[in-house]
Homo-oligomer: A and B are copies of this chain.
Amino acid sequence: MNIGTASEKSGLPAKTIRYYEDIGLLRPDRADNGYRDYSMSDVHRLRFLQRSRSLGFSVEECRQLLSLYGDKERESADVKALAETKLTEIDRKLAELTELRNTLRHLVHNCHGDSRPDCPIIDGLSGRVTQ
- One complex includes copies of this chain to the number of 2
Interface membership of A84, Cβ < 8 A = yes
* Chain B residues positioned under 8 Å from A68 (CB to CB): 104, 107, 122, 125
* Chain B residues positioned under 8 Å from A74 (CB to CB): 107, 111, 114, 117, 119, 122
Query: Do A96 and B54 touch (CB < 8 A)?
Result: yes
* Chain B residues positioned under 8 Å from A94 (CB to CB): 94, 97-98, 101
Point out the residue from B43, B52, B75, B111 that lies within 8 Å of A113, measured CB to CB: B75
Query: Do A9 and B55 touch (CB < 8 A)?
Result: no
Interface membership of A115, Cβ < 8 A = yes
Could you list 6 further interchain pairs (A-B, Cβ under 8 angstroms) beyond the known A46-B126, A54-B93, A90-B104? A43-B129, A47-B129, A48-B127, A68-B125, A75-B111, A90-B100
